[in-house]
Amino acid sequence: MAPIRIDVTSERGTYPVLVGAGLTASPTTTLGSIDLWGHALTTDRLIVSSPAVWKLHGTPWRGVAGKRGPVLIADGEKAKTLGTVSRLYEAFSANHLDRSATIIAIGGGVIGDVAGFAAATFLRGLRVIHVPTTLLAQVDSAIGGKTGVNLTSGKNLVGSFHSPAAVLCDPELLKSLPRREFRAGLYEIIKYGVIAAPDILDTLERDLSAIFDHRAAVLTPLIGKCCEIKARVVMSDEREAGPRRALNFGHTFGHALEAVTKYRRFRHGEAVGYGMLAAARLSVMRGLMTPDEEARLTRIIRSLGPIPVVSDLKSKVVLAAASHDKKVVGGKLHFVAADHLGKTVDIKDVSPEELKIVAKSIGLRT
């Protein structure tokens, strides 16, 4: 089956997102077929990955960067820091990279975000190719050019918009994921069903077993559809001034939960799962979503499996963390709600009383 190709237009030019099983089995062939804004890919390349990912998936990539070995950094949200970025700067400098160089980021969302931010800021911008190895990264974080790192006070507070030169999504890479990591990406897929394509929810309800079995006939087009939605939204609003905020559905509470637990308790998708439950509750309170739609969304989220508990977390602590999120504009928290299933609305006047009710609804302590 030929790869699905989605062309994404950005400020820097148009880049391809390729989705196909076996796409990374022969990286040299795949990279040779990519047109980078009218220029062939130079041989000045450096791979950034993590030790675990490189052990699992590095063999086909050996030699792609010439004699340069990969730069391996820690994975996970705890490594998503300015300190890790500084390590990459030193590695880039030690390898004498110039502005014609291309960084190839192989890994999950954290690797993509950190390597992308380092590429965006070293020498005022190097090209980066993303090779996402998690479901969440394939359907979401690798597309759109948002890069960044966390501070102790909040998630993704330091970053930049830096569109990739290409994104290579190979569903075969997902077979090595632990079930929990795979589930984490499914929460982001649910998000796309809520904000743009309710038929995605139909697919999850009907074919969840096949999806967990990594059946290419179901999984590949599902990933492709999510990539198409992400590309469409990004092209309409590259710098998140308006329509792109729809992609933050579930992320207001999700990011806050990650921050207050110091990025140790939840996978990002799991936190977004709770965040979507919170957003759905607010949507019902505002008359935007019906109780039946909320019940359906809740049922789908719960069908994926257990999520770490939140009953020990105080709502006032989580709400305080939400007030430091980058979605606060002009001192007001922008909260993305669902306008039934398939559309969203940006709410700018959420009251403290509403937030307390929503916090209680997902099980936070009062």
Cα–Cα distance for residue pair 232/316, rounded to 1 Å: 36
For the residues of 16-49, what is the DSSP string, one character each?
A: EEEE-TTTTSSHHHHHHT--BTTBPPPS-EEEEE
In the set 80, 183, 244, 281, the catalytic residue is 244
In the set 127, 146, 162, 245, the catalytic residue is 146
Please state the φ and ψ torsions of residue 363, each to the nearest 5 degrees.
105, 10
In the set 251, 258, 270, 281, the catalytic residue is 251
Known active-site residue 230:
yes
Known active-site residue 11:
no
Known active-site residue 334:
no
Cα–Cα distance for residue pair 252/241, rounded to 1 Å: 16
For 205-214, the CB contacts below 8 A with 24+ separation are 205/300, 205/303, 208/303, 208/304, 211/186, 212/179, 212/182, 214/171, 214/174, 214/175
In the set 127, 162, 230, 245, the catalytic residue is 230
Q: Which helix (H) or strand (E) holds 359?
A: helix 352-361
Angle between helices 268-285 and 291-303 (to 10 degrees): 170
Known active-site residue 255:
yes
In the set 67, 96, 124, 353, the catalytic residue is 124
Known active-site residue 340:
no
Known active-site residue 156:
no
123: tokens are 């020498």
Instruction: Please tell me the chain's helix, strand, coil percentages from 3-state DSSP, rounded to the nearest 5.
Output: 50, 20, 35
Cα–Cα distance for residue pair 212/189, rounded to 1 Å: 13
In the set 155, 255, 267, 281, the catalytic residue is 255
In the set 77, 188, 293, 294, the catalytic residue is 188
DSSP 134: S
Known active-site residue 162:
no
Known active-site residue 353:
no
Cα–Cα distance for residue pair 19/44, rounded to 1 Å: 25
H-type alpha helices, 196-286? 198-212, 216-236, 251-260, 268-285
In the set 228, 240, 270, 294, the catalytic residue is 240
Cα–Cα distance for residue pair 120/345, rounded to 1 Å: 31
Known active-site residue 240:
yes
Known active-site residue 324:
no
Residues with Cβ within 8 Å of 295's Cβ and at least 6 positions away in sequence, in order, are: none
Residues designated as active site? 124, 146, 188, 230, 240, 244, 248, 251, 255, 268
